[in-house]
């Protein structure tokens, strides 16, 4: 098993890519600490992992709160003895709002989740990884962090920023045995935009490129990439951004 005896935190684990990653990691031997704002939504995930012979616990928390992030790291160490892997998956869309129509509340909310949230996880987790001789971070960004208009202004800025942050961590802590890599998915079938009313003008511009998208991805396909990056099979991969988009950005 690729993650045997590893302990992994997965943020935003209650659905979509986070849930798929948690299940895949558990199947490969990792003990999972699943973080989401609503603990009750995590119970189905925990039950599925247990039924498949894996180990997982749920922690209610929000990556926008220092105390919640510190708590999930402490919980992982207390319950499983160490921390080896963190997947920064929690994310928030911005409804395709153009910058001239962007209010500060939406900007701050998106930056808090998508950029400052991973910073909090890096900050809290790195000292624990250093204690065990290293670890691996996998940060879920987006092709929106590589291009200019796959989303609105706030989301685009947040994903460009988090890629830079993850690369900084990669080099800064390489000598400590810590790796930090990024996945930049294209369109993936998840619930992230459910219930959100898109900005009509912004969506019309940003979604124009969907016509050249070969296909949508499945959450499990992103989980496969995350598994490789988190495992020792990727021991020489550090500071990389892996695009997983069926070739969409190759056009």
Kindly report, residue by residue over 70-127, the tens digit of the pLDDT: 999 999 999 999 999 999 999 999 999 999 999 999 999 999 999 999 999 999 999 9
Whether 162 and 145 have beta carbons less than 8 Å apart is answered as: yes
DSSP element (H, E) containing 225: helix 219-230
Does residue 132 contact residue 83 with C-beta atoms inside 8 Å?
yes
CB 249 within 8 Å of CB 243: yes
- Please, which pLDDT band fits residue 195 given cuts at 50, 70 and 90? low
CATH number for region 7-246: 3.40.50.720
**What's the pLDDT band for 194 if we cut at 50, 70, 90?**
low
Active site residues: 155
What is the average per-residue pLDDT within 149-153?
Answer: 95
pLDDT at 39: 84
User: pTM to 2 decimals?
Assistant: 0.96
**Strand arrangement of the beta sheet that strand 178-185 belongs to:** 55-60, 31-36, 7-11, 85-88, 135-140, 178-185, 241-244
User: Which residue has 């912004």 as its token pair?
Assistant: 202
Average pLDDT over residues 54-63: 97
């Amino acid at each position: 098993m690729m993650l045997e005896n590893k302990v992994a935190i997965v943020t935003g684990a209650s659905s979509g890519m986070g849930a798929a990653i948690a299940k895949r990691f558990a199947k490969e031997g990792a003990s999972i600490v699943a973080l989401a704002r609503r603990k009750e939504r995590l119970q189905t995930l925990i039950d599925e992992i247990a039924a498949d012979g894996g180990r997982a616990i749920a922690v209610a928390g929000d990556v926008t709160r220092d105390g919640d992030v510190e708590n999930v790291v402490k919980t992982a160490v207390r319950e499983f003895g160490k921390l080896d892997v963190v997947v920064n998956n929690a994310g928030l869309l911005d409804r395709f709002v153009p910058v001239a129509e962007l209010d500060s509340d939406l900007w701050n909310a998106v930056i808090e989740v998508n950029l400052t949230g991973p910073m909090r996880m890096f900050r809290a987790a790195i000292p624990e990884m250093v204690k065990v001789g290293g670890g691996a971070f996998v940060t879920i960004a987006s092709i929106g962090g590589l291009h200019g208009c796959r989303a609105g202004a706030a989301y685009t800025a947040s994903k460009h920023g988090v890629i830079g942050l993850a690369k900084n961590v990669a080099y800064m802590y390489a000598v400590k045995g810590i790796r930090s890599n990024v996945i930049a998915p294209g369109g993936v079938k998840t619930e992230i935009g459910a219930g959100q009313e898109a900005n009509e003008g912004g969506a019309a511009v940003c979604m124009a490129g969907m016509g050249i998208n070969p296909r949508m991805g499945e959450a499990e396909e992103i989980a496969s990439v995350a598994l490789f990056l988190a495992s020792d099979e990727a021991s020489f991969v550090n500071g990389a951004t892996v695009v997983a988009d069926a070739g969409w950005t190759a056009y």
